[in-house]
Copies of this chain bind each other. A is one copy, B any other.
């Protein structure tokens, strides 16, 4: 099983969610994140003092998925999250060694 972790722009969340539902992915965990990368940050000025803010708001999605569905999920996210501008984000894939559904105690692929 794989864990897909995607860092995307706020504005693309809706599109990504729809794309995932379209390929029957019904489990996602989301966290608010901030990203630092090629994308230029902005300046904030308070009472004459300037602050460079390089961390920009992003959304981090985590989707556990069986190996065979991985590429489908990656494609869906990449297409839906893409605007073509710098800062669109990254997708990271990890190996999961186990999954448990807390409610039922199911383990492994069944639990996803």
Cα(A26)–Cα(B74), bound, Å: 23
Stoichiometry, as copies per complex, reads 3
Contact, CB under 8 Å: B88 / A103: yes
Residues in A81-95 with C-beta less than 8 Å from chain B = 81-95
Where the two chains meet, the residues of A that have a C-beta atom closer than 8 Å to any C-beta of B are 2-3, 6-8, 17, 26-38, 54-55, 58, 60, 64, 74, 77-78, 81-103, 105, 111-112
Partner of A17, one of B27, B28, B36: B36
Contact, CB under 8 Å: B90 / A111: yes
Contact, CB under 8 Å: A93 / B94: no
A16 to chain B, nearest CB (A): 10
Q: A33-B29, A58-B29 are in contact. Are A92 and B103 (CB under 8 A)?
A: no
